[in-house]
């Protein structure tokens, strides 16, 4: 699509909002990318919004991965096995997603958002085994969890961190901090796989993706700084953001089911 000046500005603002939410509350923020692109920026068909958001998801995850890697919060061998399996799932999921009619895909996406909103309200445990390593006892678990998370990530064009983090913990028993850092390897890989699949079908708006990523970088910096200031209110922030996700999901369901 040919971007108007207004759409370009809205794309930049939308990217900033997603980046800000990611920096502020962490996992779950990127799920707002598709509804913002469809309903605010006016991207059509929905498949273009999903393909474009996959580019932004991969770029944001890669940027955050660098920070976690420097801090030593990435269990690389476990993360790479999970990501490799997930890339297969992401390719299959994204291929299936391209075949689903746009409005039905948005309705399913809205249902997923309701699930994400509910999961964000659950507390995260800080326990786990920090010295965990890849071995026979967890390799098959990592492959299975990676395939499932990758398929859903590819199908909906999302980062899938809300699935990947608990998947890594379940498969290996690693602490939440390492799971978050390691999950970014998979999120980056899934996003690139999905984006490449959609790009082959010409379903990515590259200028808009560039604006969205640029806005995400700026928003992410602001969100991270705000998170430090508001760290004592993290629980309240998660509750408010979860409520926002649920509200957007309900709006998407109503629109996609032609109830308004």
Residue 236: CB atoms within 10 A of its CB come to 10
Residue 162 has pLDDT above 80, yes or no: no
- pLDDT mean across residues, the chain: 85
- What are the tens digits of pLDDT across the range 3-24? 888 998 999 999 898 888 777 7
Structure tokens at 207: 């200028």
Torsion angle (degrees, nearest 10) of CA 36, 39, 41, 46: 90
Q: What is the pLDDT of residue 243?
A: 83
Mean pLDDT, residues 218-242 taken together: 73
Q: What is the pLDDT of residue 126?
A: 57
Strand residues in the chain grouped as ranges (E): none
Residue 41 has pLDDT above 60, yes or no: yes
Mean pLDDT, residues 190-215 taken together: 94
Is residue 198 within 8 Å of residue 54, measured between CB atoms? yes
Helix (H, G, I), strand (E, B) or coil at 241: helix
Residue 122: CB atoms within 10 A of its CB come to 10
Write down the domain spans for the chain.
Answer: 5-256
Residue 125 has pLDDT above 70, yes or no: no
Q: What is the pLDDT of residue 77?
A: 94
Q: Quick one: how many helices (H) and strands (E) in the chain? A: 10, 0
Q: What is the pLDDT of residue 61?
A: 83
Residue 124 has pLDDT above 60, yes or no: no
Q: What is the pLDDT of residue 130?
A: 74
Q: Which residue has the tokens 């009619």?
A: 101
Q: Which residue has the tokens 């995260």?
A: 124
Of all residues in the chain, the percent with pLDDT exceeding 90 is 38
């Amino acid at each position: 699509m040919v971007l108007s000046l207004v759409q370009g500005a809205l794309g930049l603002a939308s990217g900033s909002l997603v980046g800000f939410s990611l920096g502020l509350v962490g996992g779950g923020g990127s799920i707002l990318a598709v509804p913002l692109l469809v309903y605010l920026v006016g991207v059509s068909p929905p498949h273009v919004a999903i393909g474009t958001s996959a580019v932004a998801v991969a770029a944001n995850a890669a940027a955050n991965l660098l920070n976690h890697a420097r801090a030593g919060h990435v269990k690389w061998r476990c993360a790479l096995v999970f990501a490799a399996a997930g890339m297969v799932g992401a390719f299959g999921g994204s291929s299936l997603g391209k075949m689903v009619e746009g409005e039905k895909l948005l309705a399913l996406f809205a249902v997923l958002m309701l699930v994400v909103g509910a999961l964000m309200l659950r507390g995260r445990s800080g326990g786990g085994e920090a010295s965990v390593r890849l071995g026979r006892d967890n390799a098959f678990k990592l492959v299975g969890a990676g395939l499932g998370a990758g398929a859903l990530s590819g199908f909906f064009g999302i980062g899938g961190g809300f699935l990947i983090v608990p998947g890594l913990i379940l498969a290996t028993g690693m602490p939440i901090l390492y799971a978050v850092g390691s999950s970014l390897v998979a999120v980056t890989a899934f996003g690139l796989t999905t984006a490449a699949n959609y790009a082959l079908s010409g379903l990515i708006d590259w200028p808009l993706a560039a604006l969205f990523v640029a806005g995400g970088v700026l928003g992410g910096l602001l969100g991270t700084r705000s998170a430090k200031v508001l760290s004592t209110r993290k629980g309240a922030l998660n509750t408010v953001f979860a409520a926002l996700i649920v509200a957007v999901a309900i709006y998407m369901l109503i629109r996609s089911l032609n109830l308004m």
